[in-house]
Amino acid sequence: MLPSKDHMRSPYVRIAIIIAIPLMAGLGIGYALHPSDTAAAGAEQVDGTFVEAATSRAVTETSPQQQEDIAVSRRNAITRAVAAVSPSVVGINVTEIRQYRDPMSRFFGDDPLFRQFFGDRTYQQEVKGLGSGFIISSDGYIITNDHVAGNAAQITVTMTDGRRLKAELVGTDGLTDISLLKVDGKDFPNVTLGNSDDIVIGEWAIALGNPFGLFEINDKPTVTVGVISSTGMNLGSMNNRYYRDMIETDAAINGGNSGGPLVNSSGEVIGMNTLIFTGGQTSTYVGYGFAIPVNKVKKVVDELKMKGKVSRDISTGLDVQPVDARIARYFGMREVSGVIISDLRAGGPGDKAGLKVGDIILEVNGDKVKSEEDIISVLVDSSPGDILKLKVYRDKKTMDVSMKLERS
């Protein structure tokens, strides 16, 4: 049923229409003024950017005290050790005079007829080399490797203050690869020598030196950091040098580092950088380097300072030869190892210790013996009066024997 005109004229209907019209107008205006979702998001983004920028400025604008605290926090045991030792590290440049023979002369040897017609076909050539060293006393004593300066005709030492000084070779010991140099002057900065018997595997190790001659660029040593990887490493002999009880580190050591100090986090020298492990593929660092323990260095240097050389007039009174498969089988040994005593001097140290011809020496001072060289390497570090602890195989049994070394 449709509404009639009478209904439209009703006062109630008129009142409802009057109320509805402003209500609808208000809703329309409100919708037009309400911001869209995109606009709201944009406002939030602007606010976020403002807050982030304000925060960034707050972090950047640190106070002088905060800047000082940051600088102090960057200084640690390693940086302090480097600062203490660096002035005592030197770069070493050497000139060696080496003799060469004409390749043709090898076909004639020392034939006097050849020499009569062609003369002495040998000639000399200067060979340059470099390495590292460190000052151990205020009056200018410097330690380096024998393979760096042991055969040098001229030695120049570069100090961290830029001075180039001529150095004298006081003495050298090829068997332990240790040389002692001296420069004229006084009040030189010098290192503190530590105790290599107190080394802890895993502690910090700092290598300083002159790799690839980089010291010459700014008169400062190059610093690398690692840890002590192992100790007591017996590496055998190389070029008639014996490397026993070596310190192993993963601090990078390269050509030119030889003779430089290996330092602990207290700033004490615990070894002299000497060798790198290359795996036969390269002459640069591939993972591990080796240093001579400073306690051995101190012992050799004391003797070099007094006599210019190391005296090894010691005797065992023994002649030995390696055990091969035939000897091992004859004596009923389970494996091929050790050296057999082939001769024994009457009244000598071996005889006094109760050793016999035919005894097989398996160990010396706890280290396994595989050849004569292993015994020689022990004797290199020994002196008259030292006692060697031997493990000996006799009559299918092992026994312990103590042998006191005597002066030869």
Q: How far apart are CA 128 and CA 132, in angstroms?
A: 14
* Confidence bin at 20 (pLDDT 50/70/90): low
pLDDT at 177: 97
Q: How far apart are CA 177 and CA 146, in angstroms?
A: 5
Q: Which residue has the higher pLDDT, 3 or 206?
A: 206
Tell me which H or E stretch contains 75: none
Please say if 311 is a catalytic residue: no
Q: Does one domain contain both 281 and 326?
A: no
pLDDT at 1: 41
pLDDT at 67: 76
pLDDT at 408: 84
Q: Does one domain contain both 303 and 319?
A: no
Query: Helix, strand or coil for residue 90?
Result: strand
Judge whether 31 lies within some domain. no
Half-sphere exposure of 244 (CA within 13 A, CB side): 21
Range of weakest confidence among 24-33, 244-253, 356-365: 24-33
Contacts 24+ apart (CB under 8 A), 80-85: 80/267, 81/206, 81/263, 81/264, 81/265, 81/266, 81/267, 82/206, 82/208, 82/223, 82/263, 84/192, 84/267, 85/134, 85/191, 85/206, 85/208, 85/261, 85/263, 85/267, 85/269
Q: Which of 258, 359, 374, 377 is catalytic?
A: 258
CA distances from 75 to 7, 70, 83, 109, 348 (A): 96, 9, 10, 64, 59
Please say if 147 is a catalytic residue: yes
Q: Does one domain contain both 94 and 122?
A: yes
pLDDT at 100: 59
Q: Does one domain contain both 230 and 257?
A: yes
* Confidence bin at 323 (pLDDT 50/70/90): very high
At which residue do the structure tokens 């031997």 appear? 390
Is the distance from CB of 257 to CB of 263 less than 8 angstroms? no
Q: Which of 88, 132, 147, 359 is catalytic?
A: 147
Could you give the number of structural domains in the chain? 2
DSSP string, 215-242: HHHHS--EEEEEEEEEEEE--EEETTEE
By DSSP bridging, strand 360-364 and strand 367-368 are: antiparallel
pLDDT at 6: 46
Judge whether 124 lies within some domain. yes
Judge whether 43 lies within some domain. no
Q: Does one domain contain both 265 and 344?
A: no
The burial of 266, by beta-carbon neighbours within 10 Å (0-12 exposed, 13-18 middle, 19 or more buried), is given as middle
Range of weakest confidence among 19-28, 254-263, 305-314, 315-324: 19-28
pLDDT at 48: 44
- Joined together, the tokens standing for residue 269 give 């020298």
Q: Does one domain contain both 215 and 249?
A: yes
Q: Is the dihedral angle over the CA atoms 329, 331, 336, 342 positive or is it negative?
A: negative
CA distances from 81 to 124, 188, 193, 273, 345 (A): 44, 18, 13, 17, 53
DSSP for residue 198:
G
Q: Average the pLDDT over 177-202 and give the result.
A: 97
| Domain range enclosing 122 | 74-310
Q: Does one domain contain both 230 and 335?
A: no
Judge whether 20 lies within some domain. no
Q: Does one domain contain both 241 and 360?
A: no
pLDDT at 40: 42
Please say if 179 is a catalytic residue: no
Q: Does one domain contain both 294 and 318?
A: no
Q: Which of 310, 338, 365 is the last residue of a domain?
A: 310
Is the distance from CB of 220 to CB of 160 less than 8 angstroms? yes
Q: Average the pLDDT over 237-249 and give the result.
A: 93
Q: Does one domain contain both 254 and 383?
A: no
Q: What is the CATH number of the domain that holds 335?
A: 2.30.42.10
* Confidence bin at 142 (pLDDT 50/70/90): very high
Widest CA span of the chain, in angstroms? 156
Q: Average the pLDDT over 308-315 and give the result.
A: 90
* Confidence bin at 218 (pLDDT 50/70/90): confident
* Confidence bin at 3 (pLDDT 50/70/90): very low
Judge whether 42 lies within some domain. no
Q: Which of 177, 196, 229, 359 is catalytic?
A: 177
Q: Give 257-285 pLDDT, tens digit per residue.
A: 999 999 999 999 999 999 987 665 555 56
- Joined together, the tokens standing for residue 262 give 């290996």
Q: Which of 291, 310, 329 is the last residue of a domain?
A: 310
Judge whether 11 lies within some domain. no
Q: Average the pLDDT over 284-312 and give the result.
A: 90
pLDDT at 36: 47
Q: What is the CATH number of the domain that holds 87?
A: 2.40.10.120
Q: Does one domain contain both 375 and 295?
A: no
Judge whether 36 lies within some domain. no
Q: Which of 279, 310, 341 is the last residue of a domain?
A: 310
* Confidence bin at 109 (pLDDT 50/70/90): low
- Joined together, the tokens standing for residue 85 give 């030792």
pLDDT at 117: 55
Range of weakest confidence among 54-63, 161-170, 293-302: 54-63
Q: Does one domain contain both 121 and 250?
A: yes
The pTM is what? 0.76
Judge whether 350 lies within some domain. yes
- What count of other Cβ atoms lies within 10 Å of the Cβ of residue 24? 9
